[in-house]
Amino acid sequence: MDDSSEIGDILAAIGNERRIAILYELQQAYRHDESSLPYATLKRRVGIRDSGNFNYHLQQLVGRFVFEADDGYALTYAGRKIVSALSAGIFTERAGKRRLDAPGTCYACGEAALVARYEQERLYITCQACGEEVFHAPFPPAPVAQRDDRLHAFEVWSRRWNALAATGTCPECGSEMNTTLTTQTPMTSIGNVSHRFLYTCTNCWARVYLPVGCAVRDHPSVIGFHASHNAELDTQPLWNLSWALSCEYTTFDSDHSCVHLRIPIETDELHLSVDDGGTIVSVAGVG
């Protein structure tokens, strides 16, 4: 990155507790329908009495993280992204090594013996009966520490992340993602399939290996197939869908150019074929 010096200067602007307090107060205001705060109100809420001192810190933020609107000061998109990361606890929260029972059954052994644990900003669903690492994905610390429905939130979060990646849009930065079909089994993979899609951001660090079932879980044809059979899908965590994680439901063309997934409901099946660029090339109901 050739502009790292400029970025260093930009980040230095927020390396101060009073400026962080200004960003937090503007976020609090935004949450309570105050899209901007007048100078005097912001100064009072931040609690800096000295005008010169307050103004100095405010001006360090204006331009990149804060902008001056007609009736006061407000967060820019960059300012909102910074306070979102702070509020997610990415820099500060200690969620601890939590361990709790998880709903669902293990695709490998069929036992309802799943437990969740949180380590290094990643949530793992593991089977206590057979040891299979059923599912895992990154998740911010704040919801793990604060939400009672943390596993549900984690499941929805990681599913949406996957769905964005599967459409070729980076869930972290919005840039284009490249898609390849690979037989690699990296440490961070999930499922026991032989082939996975690898989604790699062309701009940031984001990359993920997904079995085809995880990549198409939120596709309209999959949701429609379940709806037409009155089969609950939203109440099923992703790690409880065997067809999303187990090799039993996938086949591959011998030249690795296409992967085929079957999703069974009672006596019917939905068949999807996805090419090596991640595009769904055929959908068929069989029953």
Residues 115 and 33: their CA atoms lie apart, in Å, by 40
Judged by CB under 5 A, does residue 112 bind Zn ion? no
**Complex with Zn ion: residue 58 or 102, whichever CB lies closer:** 102
Q: Residues binding Zn ion: what is the number (CB under 5 A)?
A: 15
**Complex with Zn ion: residue 40 or 204, whichever CB lies closer:** 204
CB 208, min distance to Zn ion, A: 11
Segment contacting Zn ion by CB under 5 A, of 25-33, 69-77, 102-110, 146-154: 102-110
Judged by CB under 5 A, does residue 132 bind Zn ion? yes
**Complex with Zn ion: residue 194 or 200, whichever CB lies closer:** 200
Residues 6 and 20: their CA atoms lie apart, in Å, by 20
Per-position DSSP letters for 227-261, written without gaps between them: HHTT---TTS-GGG-HHHH-GGGEEE-TTSSEEEE
CB 178, min distance to Zn ion, A: 11
Tokens 């307050």 correspond to 54
CB 172, min distance to Zn ion, A: 5
Judged by CB under 5 A, does residue 201 bind Zn ion? yes
Footprint of Zn ion on 142-171 (CB under 5 A): 170
CB 198, min distance to Zn ion, A: 14
**Complex with Zn ion: residue 37 or 206, whichever CB lies closer:** 206
Residues 41 and 50: their CA atoms lie apart, in Å, by 14
**Complex with Zn ion: residue 106 or 212, whichever CB lies closer:** 106
Judged by CB under 5 A, does residue 175 bind Zn ion? yes
Judged by CB under 5 A, does residue 106 bind Zn ion? yes
CB 91, min distance to Zn ion, A: 20
Identity at 121, one-letter amino acid code? E
Question: Which bin fits 283, alpha (ψ -120 to 50), beta or left (φ > 0)?
Answer: beta
Compute and round to an integer the Cα radius of gyration of the chain: 23
DSSP 62: B
Q: For the chain, how far is it from start to end, CA to CA, in angstroms?
A: 54
Judged by CB under 5 A, does residue 109 bind Zn ion? yes
CB 191 within 8 A of CB 229: no
3-state secondary structure at position 25: helix
Residues 120 and 140: their CA atoms lie apart, in Å, by 10
**Complex with Zn ion: residue 75 or 114, whichever CB lies closer:** 114
Footprint on this chain of Zn ion (rule: CB under 5 A): 106, 108-109, 127, 129-130, 132, 170, 172-173, 175, 201, 203-204, 206
